[in-house]
């Protein structure tokens, strides 16, 4: 399978400024040395609690935010150091769907204009062709073309997300970062929007990075999943494998929180103690150690690398070797 995207040792730190001269007095280590790849045509789910760095990772990958270090290879081209002029033509191929459809749509523009805007920015087609394309895309995402002169506030949350999706796909991109695309929607609407994303993936040969805080949301649409904790990737595996055989204690805790709709099946709920620590001053060694029920001295002293334990299942924990947990003593 061809890799559409390759991320090597990606780092994004933000300065924390203070004092009378507003000088940097520290760094928020939002994304701290992550590497993974996404195959053409697949959906890669990136999951973690709020503050894990997943959204920053998504925005950095498509260069909405400049990386601090590392390498981003898109479709065989190293785009890490591309400035605005060089990245602009590639923006046609890399789009984003935002979490808050209402906040991301200009309330003073009719939705036909909102969807048409990317075509105008990239100078694609004449006026008539642009209008035809808008109608075509509205039909494709399940919006009635006669609504094109209506404004965003006249639509429901689910319809607004369809407008956001229409704007993202109107340029016929290859790759889309979907940043929490359903977390602002009612549960009943979430499935419809996720199904629409799947349908569009088939029809338009799209590749997705799906960012979400909820493993249950990414489960049914992702081919592979990466779990992030405090700026680090702690586990990457195919979706089925991750749910059947979660190896990292953090993934195990996240999975234990997903309800099973069967009263006969009882499972242990692993409660994570406390909040995620500050990314300004993360714990030494394994960043998860302050909340891990298996932590030992070595976890404080050395950082576990993300290693392949077999069949593309990667884990960053000192006590996971060759697909098994060894030496845990409770």
Contact positions vs ligand SF4 (CB under 6 A): 248-249, 286, 288-289, 292, 294-295, 299, 304, 317-319
Cβ-based nearer residue to ligand SF4, 51 or 101: 51
Q: How far apart are CA 166 and CA 119, in angstroms?
A: 12
If DSSP codes are grouped into helix, strand and coil, which group holds residue 326?
Answer: coil
CB of 225 to ligand SF4, least distance (A): 17
Cβ-based nearer residue to ligand SF4, 191 or 328: 328
The two tokens of residue 9 are: 């040792």
CB of 9 to ligand SF4, least distance (A): 20
Neighbours of 283 (CB within 10 A): 18
Entry field: residues in the chain: 330
Cβ-based nearer residue to ligand SF4, 219 or 318: 318
How far is residue 149 from each of residues 137, 169, 180, measured CA to CA in Å? 15, 19, 27
Which contacts (CB < 8 Å, 24+ apart) does range 266-275 have? none
CB of 304 to ligand SF4, least distance (A): 5
Cβ-based nearer residue to ligand SF4, 126 or 297: 297
CB of 277 to ligand SF4, least distance (A): 13
Cβ-based nearer residue to ligand SF4, 67 or 231: 231
Q: How far apart are CA 42 and CA 218, in angstroms?
A: 13
Helix or strand (DSSP H, E) at 256 = helix 249-256
In terms of Cα–Cα distance, which of 186, 259, 178, 239 is closest to 212? 178
Q: How far apart are CA 286 and CA 264, in angstroms?
A: 36
User: How many CA within 13 A on the CB side of residue 162?
Assistant: 26
CB of 267 to ligand SF4, least distance (A): 20
| C-alpha gyration radius of the chain | 21
Q: How far apart are CA 98 and CA 135, in angstroms?
A: 22
CB of 34 to ligand SF4, least distance (A): 16
The two tokens of residue 232 are: 């680090």
Cβ-based nearer residue to ligand SF4, 182 or 295: 295
CB of 272 to ligand SF4, least distance (A): 12
């Amino acid at each position: 399978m061809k890799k559409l995207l390759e991320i090597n040792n990606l780092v994004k730190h933000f300065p924390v400024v203070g004092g009378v001269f507003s000088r940097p007095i520290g760094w928020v280590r939002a994304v701290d040395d992550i590497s993974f790849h996404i195959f053409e045509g697949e959906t890669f789910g990136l999951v973690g609690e709020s503050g894990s760095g997943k959204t920053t990772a998504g925005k950095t990958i498509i260069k909405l935010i400049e990386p601090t270090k590392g390498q981003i290879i898109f479709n065989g081209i190293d785009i890490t150091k591309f400035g605005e002029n060089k990245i602009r033509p590639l923006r046609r191929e890399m789009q984003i769907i935002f979490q808050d459809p209402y906040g991301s749509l200009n309330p003073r523009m009719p939705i036909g204009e909102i969807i048409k805007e990317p075509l105008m920015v990239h100078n694609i087609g004449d006026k008539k062709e642009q209008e035809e394309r808008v109608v075509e895309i509205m039909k494709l995402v399940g919006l009635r073309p006669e609504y094109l002169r209506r404004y965003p506030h006249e639509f429901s949350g689910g319809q607004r997300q369809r407008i956001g999706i229409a704007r993202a796909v109107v340029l016929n991109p290859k790759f889309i970062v979907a940043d929490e695309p359903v977390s602002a929607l009612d549960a009943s609407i979430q499935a419809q929007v996720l199904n629409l994303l799947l349908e569009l993936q088939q029809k338009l040969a799209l590749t997705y990075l799906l960012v979400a805080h909820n493993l249950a949301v990414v489960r049914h649409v992702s081919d592979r999943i990466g779990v992030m904790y405090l700026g680090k990737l702690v586990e990457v595996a195919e979706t089925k494998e991750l749910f059947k055989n979660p190896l990292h204690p953090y993934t195990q805790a996240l999975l234990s929180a997903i309800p099973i709709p069967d009263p006969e099946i009882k499972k242990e709920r692993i409660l994570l103690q406390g909040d995620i620590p500050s990314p300004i001053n993360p714990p030494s060694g394994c960043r998860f150690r302050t909340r891990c029920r298996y932590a030992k001295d070595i976890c404080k002293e050395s950082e576990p690398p993300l290693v392949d334990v077999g069949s593309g299942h990667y884990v960053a924990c000192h006590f996971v070797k060759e697909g098994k947990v060894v030496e845990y003593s409770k």
